[in-house]
Amino acid sequence: MPDADAILALECSTDYGSVGLALGDGRRFISRFEVARAHGKTLMPLVDELFKRAGVERERLALIAVSLGPGSYTGLRVAIAAAQGLALALSIPCAGFETTEVVAGNIEPGPRPLAVLIDIRGEEVFCRPFKADGGRWRACAEGAVAKPASLSAGLDRQSLLAGSGAIAYRNIFEKAGFEIAPEKTATPEANVLLNLAMEARERGALVDPARLTPVYARPSYAEILRPADK
């Protein structure tokens, strides 16, 4: 049996999901899907189809990467649970990345700062600023939730804005003088997750599957409606 050399990436933080498989020989297989609020019915069949297309078994996996959010509550939970289940069954590590990191990976690093904005509804965005360092984007501050109008007043005017939040509130940010990255870069992609996972493996920054936890910008509606303990 060939050595375990494959990486699986699960990106389900938005309604536009994708899964990716990278093999040790450099080949990659990517599948995308648009299934709002139905990731659980779509994810594992697509993963199985990737293995069939690649002509390999799950035992070839050496690492599983997953987007941790912020994003779709259901999508994040389904993807993280799938990553944990597969990794634990195969006794392999995982790598988890904030959705802002995955979106940043769609954009070529440059001298200008980058701010990735995730639309979290309620007329608010989750913002994480990045700066280029060593040929890749690196977060330079903690993420924060803010109203677009107040955020436009506080961000570095030289920043390039990217992500679903930048697109959703384009008029506010462009009026304030910001440049918005192309809309095609706003969707986090499994292909970027594969790149991030390879870098994490080189740095020795892998984690036990049990340590994967979603990044929520605010509580889910289910958590808000849950009765308080008496």
**pLDDT confidence tier of residue 41, bands split at 50, 70 and 90:** confident
Asked if residue 12 and residue 83 are part of one domain, the reply reads yes
Asked if residue 137 and residue 60 are part of one domain, the reply reads no
Residue of higher predicted confidence among 2 and 29? 29
Asked if residue 191 and residue 149 are part of one domain, the reply reads no
Query: Is the pLDDT confidence value at 195 over 90?
Result: yes
Instruction: List the one residue out of 119, 180, 171, 183 whose CA is nearest residue 145.
Output: 119
Domain containing 174 equals: 107-185
- Decide if 14 contacts 119 (C-beta within 8 A): no
Instruction: List the one residue out of 213, 188, 187, 201 whose CA is nearest residue 64.
Output: 201
Q: What is the CATH number of the domain that holds 49?
A: 3.30.420.40
1 occurs within a structural domain: no
Two tokens, residue 106: 């769609």
d(CA 44, CA 106): 25
**The 3-state secondary structure of 90-145, one letter per residue:** HCCCEEEEEHHHHHHCCCCCCCCCEEEEEECCCCCEEEEEEEEECCEEEECCCCEE
**214 exposed, middle or buried (CB, 10 Å; 0-12, 13-18, 19+)?**
buried
Global pTM value: 0.91
Asked if residue 111 and residue 93 are part of one domain, the reply reads no
Segment 42-93, tens digit of pLDDT: 888 999 999 999 999 999 999 999 999 999 888 899 999 999 999 999 999 9
Query: Is the pLDDT confidence value at 223 over 80?
Result: no
230 occurs within a structural domain: no
